A and B are shown apart, each in its own frame.
Chain A
Amino acid sequence: MSGPREPTGPELERMSRGALVDLGHELDSVRIVAQEPPRRPGDVRGERRARRRVTLLLVLSLLCAAAFAWAYLFWPTGYVPPGAPGHTANLLYTPLLGVTFFGAVGALGAAMILYVRSFYPDEVAVQHLEKGPSAERDRFTAGATLAEAGEHTGFGRRTMIRRLGLTGLGAVGILGGLVAIGGLVRNPWRQRGDAPLWTTGWKPVGDEPVFLRIATGDPKDITKVRPEDLEPDGMITVVPFRESERDDPEKVHDAEMAPDNPVMLVRLPPGTPVANPPGREDLHHGDYYAFSKICTHLGCPASLYDSQQQIFLCPCHQSEFKITEGARPIFGPAARRLPQLPITVDADGFLVARGDFPDPVGPSFWEIRRGQH
């Protein structure tokens, strides 16, 4: 190595600390070009003031840490409803933690910054940079070493073994990938015509009627819908219900939680001009129209109902669907109509579905047009 002569042990022993630091900097190509004391020498008052400030901050930090610990352990916490005694006190728990935490940690940080500013020498150091590639010597020797190592493996000569080996390595990689991904693969079309993307909970099973039940969130509250339950311009969210499931709250709940099932039932005011598109002429029952609540864009509930303009609006990406034109998308990113559920009234006067949606529910996908009936 070029540069300073390597000093001997006894020489190093004799060197002062300053000389040793200088030697180190010489080895590391570092030069201290300016090193100012933080204040004029002999500025006793400045020194004292800085010391006082740092001390104050550290004491403040400790006090806040104690306050944090006290609040953490003894301040009342937990939910207290508004109006009940202790509501405000409990509400203050988290803010109190935040403020005391900020005091404890922030004052510590400020003390550190102030300490560095007040007591460290103000220095400008310059380090020389070894730019670019390695030294020629290193590059040539490294290249030769690797080339020789490659030569010793003999892969260059034995092409057959090399190719087989690489293929084997690739095969192991593919195997690993296969095992990693393979177990996750599921066939979306295993049930063919009954695949989940083609069907919803409205699909009839046997002859059992599928009623429109108001989505209440409570599986014990079963309210089947009659036409007279809805005022003109009214809209309710309904989910499928079968009498055989009445005593099975779990199934009732599942029908409500299935993402494809929610339907918006609208009663248009009598005499509203309606332009039903081809294929949707007879899906409604009088002024009652039932549309899937699931937006055909990306699946949010398109449930903001504007009865003035007869529009459904999806709050996620603002697609608008014109109810009186077969839920045609009239603005925004959705490209397909909301699927319409065929409905009628049974002998007892309850609204029932006449079958599953004729169109697939929810966002579009590659195969979707193969499922449109």
Chain B
Amino acid sequence: MNQTLQQRDEMSSEDAVQAAPLLAVRGLSKAFGGVHAVDELSFQILPGQIYAVIGPNGAGKTTLFNLITGLYQPDQGGVSLKGEAVQGLPPERLARLGMSRTFQNLQICMNMTALENVMLGRHLHLKRNFLAVLLRWPSLRASERTCRAQAEELIRFVGCGDYVNAEAAAMPYGALKRLEIARALATQPSILLLDEPAAGLNSTETAALEQLIRKVAAGGITVVLVEHDMKLVMSISDRILVLDYGRKLAEGTPREIRDNPDVIAAYLGG
């Protein structure tokens, strides 16, 4: 506990000197058995960037996401969000600090409607007073009405307007992927992590997704994505991090990455 606090202090003083990254990862490591899924990894993401993490299968991309978003505990190293050390915090605490994410294998509540899934995303911004809920006070009704309207707007924003009242279980895959983004946006995050948002989408859907990600970023939300679709990654990313066996292989702008001999070797099997 003391150590964590100490780390926290060191980090915030360091950040004050630099150009204040929104998310900073320092020396992050996680091993499963003998496998180093993420190994001494460090990078920084500046506010407003679209930042892509790429790498071959098994490079540790999803593990990295799970470490950043609190689903896994790191073995070593630190993560700081807005200058505050957050490694080891559970996801529900990180959500309060403005971090939200989607999942490679969808995590939609299939027992709820599309609207309810997005309303769930408003959880932290709603009145949750127990007595008010039990007795359905007028103030609660008003807050629910506003929440409903906001959720509907978000569903339209991601292009799922036809499915507002649909049962999530009855929606097609592509719509569910966008619904998950709407739910993540409903938390009003400052940083949004998308784990393979284009996986399983056709080219039309991927093009729509690209527009959506641009709109989200234009709204001031920092976007981090893990993605295999190189065309999408090269087109929208401000910076790209290439992982290989849990380590940083390269980092830079799309042009730098495209011309990097190490990356070419890793991808083409040099």
A, B co-complexed: no
List the interface of chain A (C-beta within 8 A of B): none
